Amino acid sequence: MQARVLRRGFEQAKVVFLHRDGRDVALSLRDFIPARLIIWNWMLFRKLGSNPIAIAAPTGASRKLALFERLFTPVFPVRRALSTSPPLTACAGF
């Protein structure tokens, strides 16, 4: 769907398909400090039964997500999450 919208907006544009090895993406996510906080939060929400990035339930659509945000945001160890690389398996799953 997004590709159709882009094609309508840029009718003269050429399409280029780029493919990146998923293993390389996971390693980059693990080492990219801004992504660490997102991945640690994603892991926490998954353990609590919610997936904030699920396609069927986009961010903000889950009632559980709003509750989890209110409960855990004040106590979430942000500094530790930013200074500690998440597990590579979590980066790959994200």
Instruction: Annotate 21-89 with three-state secondary structure.
Output: CHHHHHHHHHHCHHHHHHHHHHHHHHHCCCCCCCCCCCCCCCHHHHHHHHHHCCCCCHHHHHHCCCCHH
Q: What is residue 90's predicted lDDT score, i.e. its pLDDT?
A: 86
Q: Where are the domains of the chain?
A: 21-93
* Residue 44 confidence (pLDDT): 82
**pLDDT confidence band for 63 (50 / 70 / 90):** low
CA–CA–CA angle 66, 89, 35 (5° rounding): 55
Looking at per-residue pLDDT, the higher value among 3 and 68 belongs to 3
Token output for 49: 């039964």
